Structure 1
C-alpha cells in the first residue's frame, strides 16, 4: 500500500501507484464515468473511475460483472460533500486535466468519515451563519490561505526578533489586578474569596522584564477586552503582538524597530504567498518602504479638517473616519500604506506613557495601516516618582498598583514598546472587511461558540 502523499506533491511524482487523503468537494456521477474532486490541506485533485453498473435487465450469456468494481461505483455514488476518505489508485499526468494536469484512476477507497448529505452553509451564506459553522467555512482554499499567511507572518516576526537576540516571554493571562484600567475588564472567581482578572495586555509584565534586565523581549499571545463593540475591528479575545526594549532615547526607537519588523514580515508573506493572495483575494502584497511617514496628531487633525471631515470626539483623538482620512492623505502624497501619528496629549494616553519635558505631550504614537489603527507604542515613564505622580493625575489609587510600581523601586532602564493586533494586520493585508474573517474562532459580545 502506498504511503499518503499531499496533493500539492502529485505534479512532481511520476505516473504510478499513489495514495491521497482528504475530503470530497464535488462528485460528478455520470452513467459511464465518475469524477470526484478531492481536496486536502494543500490543494485539490481529480479522481476518475469508469462506472460499472448492473444492467437494467439481465443479458443472457453476458460475462458476470466484477463485484469489486460494482461496489466501488456504488460507494462513489453514495459519497457526500465533506466526506473524508483515502483513495489508492494510479496517478496519470494529462495536460487536458484542468486541475493541476494530473488525475488519479481509483483502484480502491476507504471512507474515514461520511458527511451528512445536507451542508448547513453555502457560498452565499452570511458571515454570522458561516461563523456558526466555522469548521466547514474554513475548508475553503481561500480561508485556508489566511492561516498559512498568518503562520508565515508570525514566523517571520519571531525570526526577526530572535536573530536580534530578543527573548520570547509568555506572560500570565490571570492577574490579581487590572493590567490597564478597570474598564473593559473581565473578572472571575478564583480560589477562596479571591477575584482574578483576564489580562487586557501584557503591558505590566513587559515592563517587569525590563527591570529584570532582559533588555529586549516579545510576546505573541491572547488578550481580553470586555468591550461591547460590534465593529469590524473589535473582539473580546484577540491575539496581541507585543515587544518592549530597553535603553531607548525616545518612542522613535520603538517606531524604528516596528517598521523594520513589519517590512521584514510582509516581505516574507509576499515571497511565499504573494501569487496565491493575488489569485484568491485580488490583493497585491506591497512591502512597505522604510521609514514610514510620521505626522504629529495636531497636524493630523488639520489634515482631517482640510479634507472636509468634522470630528465628533471631544478629547482630540482621531475617530475611525479621521484615521481613514489621514491614511488617504498619506497614500495620495507619499504612496505609503502606513503612517505613524505621534505626540498625543497625556489626557488620552495611559499614565505610564512618558511626557516630553518641553511640550508636555506624550512620547507615543499610533500606527495606522490602510486607514485603521493597528498599534499603540510609546516610551514608558521609568522614574518611580514621576510615574506615581502621573498615576495620581489620572485619578488612580497607588494601592492598587503596588505590584506594578515595585518594578520601578529597584531600578529600571529607559524603555518602551508597542502592542499590535494580529487580526487587524491580517485583515488589512488581505483586504478583508472584518477581523472575524481572519480569526480562527471569533469571540465578541454575542459570540462564545463554537
Structure 2
C-alpha cells in the first residue's frame, strides 16, 4: 500500500506498458470508467484482476513467469468529476488496496491485453476484456469503448455485403425481407402462405423470427421444409430467385443436427443469437463458409444501451464482423432519428476497410415504411442494406401481397444512388 492507502502492485513493472514490447502481440482495449479511487490505481487493479494478480508465491511463483501474460496499463487520462452510475464497495483483496475518500472521478484508460490470453477464442475474449471488471467495487461507471480484434482472430464474413446484394432481382439494395410474424401460434400452412404471398408481391427474402420455437427436431425440420416449398413456389411464379433464412437459435445440443439439415436442404442463410448462444457459435458456423449468417441482436442492447455501463455498439459490431457475421442489425430507430453517433460508429465498424475482411450488410428494422427510403439511404450512405418489414405490409388495408408490391415499387422507383 502507499501512504494514501491506494493499491500499489508488488511488481509494478509487470503491469506497465514498455515500448520494447511488440504491439502486434496485444489487443488494445480502451475503457471509460468512473471510480472512487485514483485513476492509475483503478487501471492497475483492472490489469491485475484480469490477468496475473498474484505475482509471488514463495517457492512456486516468480514474476518472470508472468511477463508474457500480464495485462499492461498503457494510458490513464483524467476526464474530471463524474456522477456514479452504480454504488461502490470494498473487498479485502490485492486488486482493491484500501478505500479512498475522494468523490467519483472519470478516466479514460487503455489496457494492453496479451493475445495469448485470448487464445483466439470468443468466450475467452469476453472473459478477459470484460469478465469481472464490472464487479470491481471501486468502478461506479464502466464502458468498453474500443477493442479492435485483428482480422486473424476469425474468418470474417464468408459472403458479406457485396454477395448479399446480389440476392436482389436488380443486383442492388435495399433488400426487402419479411420476418415471420406473429412468431407464435400460427400453423405451418398459414405461415407458408404468408411467405409465399409476400415473396410473390416483390420481397426478396423471408426469415424466421427470432422468437419462433421448435419443441424438437421433427417440428423444426417440418417447418423448414414447408418454408422452402413456399420459397420455391414464389421463385417459380416470378421467375426470380427468392430466399429463406432459418432460425438456428437453439440449445447447444440441438445445433449440429439443425445445422446439418439446413445445409442439406438448401436454406439460403441462418440467424443465430451470439449474445445468447455465445460468439463461439457464430465463429463455428462461419468457418464452414456454407451460407450467410445473420447475427441477431436479441439481448445485445443489454450490453450497450446504458451509456454509463456498457460495451460500445462499435465494439460489438467489429467483433461480430471479425467472427464471421454477414448481416448485423442496427439500432431500432436507425434511419428515423438523425445524428446517432453510436449507430454511425457501429456502422463504420461493420463496413470500414479492414484488410481482406469483407464488409457486413446492415439491417434496418422497426416500423420501416416506403416513405422512409430517402432517410434510410441518407443514414446508410448508400442502398447497401436490408430492410426487414412486417408491420407495414401486415396491416395494409389491401392485403399483404399488394402491400409487398407497393413497397417493391417504391424501392424500384428510387433514383439511382449517387
**Comparing both structures, which one devotes a greater share of its residues to helix?**
2
The answer to which structure has the higher strand fraction is: 1
**Structure 2 length as normaliser, TM-score?**
0.27
Larger radius of gyration: 1
